[in-house]
Amino acid sequence: MANHFSALKRARQTETRTAVNRANKSRLRTAIRHFREALAGGNQEQAAKLFRTTVSALDKSVQKGVIHKNTASRYKSRLSSRLAAMAAK
């Protein structure tokens, strides 16, 4: 365990930041899972609606520093191509 006051404070800050990052990442993963379930279910209207919320969650997670911007871009590209393929059917 940390002995200095500054090290104790850093430990407290790390716990807080870890909890915030974990909550943000969980929110993001839930949004992506709901979108994928809508795609699997075949409901195009719901999938289009969830795509917008998922993209918003991705952008917010980039803004908060939870994931890298290229990772979010890759997710958005893959999810949008799945949505387009579903619309083409």
State residue 1's pLDDT score: 67
C-beta atoms surrounding 24 within 10 Å: 18
Percent of the chain with pLDDT over 70: 99
State residue 2's pLDDT score: 72
Map the chain to HEC letters: CCCCHHHHHHHHHHHHHHHHHHHHHHHHHHHHHHHHHHHHHCCHHHHHHHHHHHHHHHHHHHHCCCCCHHHHHHHHHHHHHHHHHHHHC
State residue 87's pLDDT score: 87
| Residues 34, 28: Cα–Cα separation, whole Å | 10
Q: Which regions of the chain are under pLDDT 50?
A: none
Total length of the chain? 89
State residue 89's pLDDT score: 76
Residue 67 region by backbone torsions, left for phi larger than 0, else alpha for psi between -120 and 50, else beta = beta
Q: Which domains does the chain have, with CATH numbers?
A: 5-88 (1.20.58.110)
